[in-house]
Chains A and B, each alone.
Chain A
Amino acid sequence: MEEVAAWRTRLEGKVVSAMTHTGRGYLLLVGGLLAIVAWGVFAYTVQLRDGLIVTGLRDRIMWGFYISNFVFVIGISYGGVLMSAVLRLTGAEWRRPITRLAEGAAVAALCVGALFPIIDLGRPDRFHFLLVHGRWQSPIVWDVIAISTYLVATFLYLFLLMIPDMALLRDRPGQAMSRWRRILYRQLSFGWVGGERQRRTLSQAGTMMAIAIIPIAVTVHTVLAWLFSMNLRENWNSTIFGPFFVAGAVFSGIATIIVIMAVVRKIYHLEEYITEKHFVYLGYLLGIFTLVMIYMNVAEFLTVGYSMVGEAPFHLDQLFKGQFAPLFWFVFLGGFVTPGLLVLMPWTRNIRGIVAAALIVIVAMGIERYYLVVSALRVPQMPYEPSVYAPSWVEFSVVIGAFALVGLLLALFVKVFPVISMWEMGETREAGNAAGGTGR
């Protein structure tokens, strides 16, 4: 028991220290991110002032960098939550040190990702038209409903399972906790004292949320796919689009968690809790999803390419040999095959190799979302020349600013909330000790 107590104290010390000790590096990081966000906001004000003409978007290619990144960022969010929920329900004990990070990343990504369609509107003052004049038959209305439901569910899921940790921080003695922190933790701990009834209620609610959030998350990304596939564009009008989007979201979500995990582990010296095993297990998941992505791509393109009717010849030509060929082949060979090999090879199946694979996947999935959106819109629908689209400096700035905002929210998250679920880790350790195991 003494060993467990000492282990708990050490864990709490590490986690709380990460929250309360702010070094120069952290301040520099936050300052840098704030500067990038400010630049993004400035670019957006230019767009607000002059209209969408400052972007590369025109009447034929009217969805570009904003919408592709909307799909990408929502996907990251989805992947984090789904991974956490599935591992919780399947009782995968190794998940415990990483679920909080996954949930935090999901919330941060979702908060920012939901802004992209509004940015893409050009006239954000008209957004409420969607609510006032929206028709329930429209996939855009479904999307608004799905994303707002998912946002509430993700917040609930995160904060519900954080209650015992909030109580732990609330009750922590010493001067380390400032007044605002104590007030915040007192409010978010919901009077937690750790009694049997409270534990039972928390466990039931946690399980219920974990079950509910899986179909919600799947629905959100499927509805997002329907936004495309219910268009009468032959290249989007595909039944496979829903599952394709979901698989891509999990794929990029896992990769993002791996990278965030590596950064947080390194900065806050959490090597004792986030071990190589966690990277390898997530690497396996990443490896499985490389196969899923390859399968999905082959299934989609082979079916379309075999019949070669309508817009398919033009579309496939521009993907495989034309304007988008470098991007497509980078994604297919670099983004799907290479990470799979990195996970497969024993000598690269370590933290470095898996983080490298995850970084490649993140870049590749961002590109994949880009050509998925833009290439289909480039296919002519009338006797006109295929359009040309390139994101302008405004679009680049706004998108980079948005990514910096995700980083900033995460940086603030790790300062305000514990990055590791201390109470869950403690439970596992105690159970492991009681069973005479190592408490993995």
Chain B
Amino acid sequence: MRAEAVLPLLLFAMLGATFLPGGVVHASQVEIEISAPKEAQVGREVQIRVTLRSSGDGVPIADAEVTLLREASFARVVGDVELARAATDQNGVAILLYEPTVAGEQNLKLEYAAADGAEPQTAALTISVAEGPQIERSTAGIRVPGLNVWALVAVLSAVWAILFTAALSMVRIGRIGAEEGAHADQTRGRGGPAK
């Protein structure tokens, strides 16, 4: 009888430990642990490892969305630019990939917003970014072997050849006219009917 009563209680406790923290934990009760390199290079991707735990009992928070932000100002307007976004796994770990585009001290911000709409919890981190290789690369577009500038030249040549042929037709019309005019003159000279 005692065992029958304990079993459901145990089951309930286990389910609660597994599911409840991910669903109802408030942002203010979350512990954010960040593991990121102190130094980076422009154009080289860095991994930022974020672990979310419930601050009370240290239970990992799964399926929570974490956002990496950087404060930016442009044309006198200040705001946060989103750099990366990832969800935590069963261990409460999310891996964010970030490729710095400018050199210098980068003050970044990690944000976790709880599902219940509570105030988002943030954590700051600083990465020192050194100059790196050129990051602007022309990688867009399709590269088809043989389809290059010569394909464009071929199409253009075909079109201009048609236009040139049409222009030549006008010259040809003129030449025929001159021949027929000369023939008419000769006919007239022989006393034939004038055109």
Residues of A within 8 A of B (CB): 60, 136-137, 142, 145, 149, 152-153, 156-157, 159-160, 163, 190-193, 195, 197-198, 201-202, 204-205, 208-209, 212, 216, 382-385
Chain B: minimal CB distance from A23 (Å): 34
A202-B177 contact in complex given A149-B156, A384-B74, A385-B77, C-beta closer than 8 Å: no
CB distance from B111 to the nearest CB of A (A): 15
Partner-contacting stretch, out of B3-11, B40-48, B129-137, B159-167: B159-167
- Residues on B with C-beta less than 8 A from A216 are 159
Given known A-B contacts A383-B80, A384-B75, A384-B77, A149 and B169 have beta carbons under 8 A apart: no
Taking the nearest CB of chain A, how far is it from the CB of B145, in angstroms? 16
Beyond A208-B165, A383-B80, A384-B77, whether A145 also contacts B177 by CB under 8 A is no
Give complex CA distance A186, B175 in Å: 14
Question: Are A136 and B152 in contact, with the CB atoms below 8 A?
Answer: yes
Contacts A153-B159, A205-B170, A383-B80 aside, 14 further interface pairs with beta carbons under 8 A come to A136-B152, A137-B141, A149-B163, A190-B171, A190-B174, A191-B174, A191-B178, A202-B169, A204-B169, A209-B162, A382-B75, A382-B81, A383-B72, A384-B75
How far, in whole Å, are A145 and B157 apart by their CA atoms in the complex?
A: 12
B23 lies within 8 A of chain A by Cβ: no
**A201 adjacent to B178 (CB under 8 Å):** no
A227 to chain B, nearest CB (A): 16
Which residues of the other chain, B, contact A198 by a CB distance below 8 angstroms? 173, 176-177, 180
0 or 1 for each of B177-188: is its CB under 8 Å from A? (1 = yes): 110110010000
A163 to B159, CA, bound (A): 23
Shortest distance in angstroms between A191's beta carbon and chain B's nearest beta carbon?
3
* Chain B residues within 8 Å of A, Cβ to Cβ: 72-75, 77-81, 141, 149, 152, 156, 159-160, 162-163, 165-167, 169-178, 180-181, 184, 195
CA A136 to CA B150, docked complex, whole Å: 10
Q: How many inter-chain contacts with C-beta < 8 Å in the A-B complex?
A: 92
Shortest beta-carbon contacts, A-B, top 6: A191-B177, A383-B79, A205-B169, A190-B174, A384-B77, A382-B74
Of A136, A149, A209, A384, most B-chain CB atoms within 10 Å: A384
B72 touches A195 (CB 8 A): no
> Hey, which chain B residues are within 8 Å of A163, CB to CB?
170, 173
Q: List 20 A-B contacts (CB under 8 A).
A: A149-B163, A156-B166, A190-B173, A190-B174, A193-B195, A195-B180, A198-B173, A198-B177, A201-B169, A205-B165, A205-B170, A208-B165, A212-B162, A216-B159, A382-B75, A382-B81, A383-B72, A383-B77, A383-B78, A384-B74
What is the minimal beta-carbon distance from B118 to any residue of chain A, in angstroms? 24
Cα distance A175–B75 in the bound complex, in angstroms? 70
Question: A191 near B173 (CB under 8 angstroms)?
Answer: yes
Partner of A195, one of B149, B163, B176: B176
Name A202's contact: one of B75, B165, B173 (CB within 8 Å).
Answer: B173
Name the residue on B nearest A163 (C-beta).
Answer: B173
Instruction: Tell whether, in the assembled complex, residue B166 and residue A205 are in contact, meaning their CB atoms are under 8 Å apart.
Output: yes
Find B176's partner among A149, A201, A384 (CB 8 Å cutoff).
A201
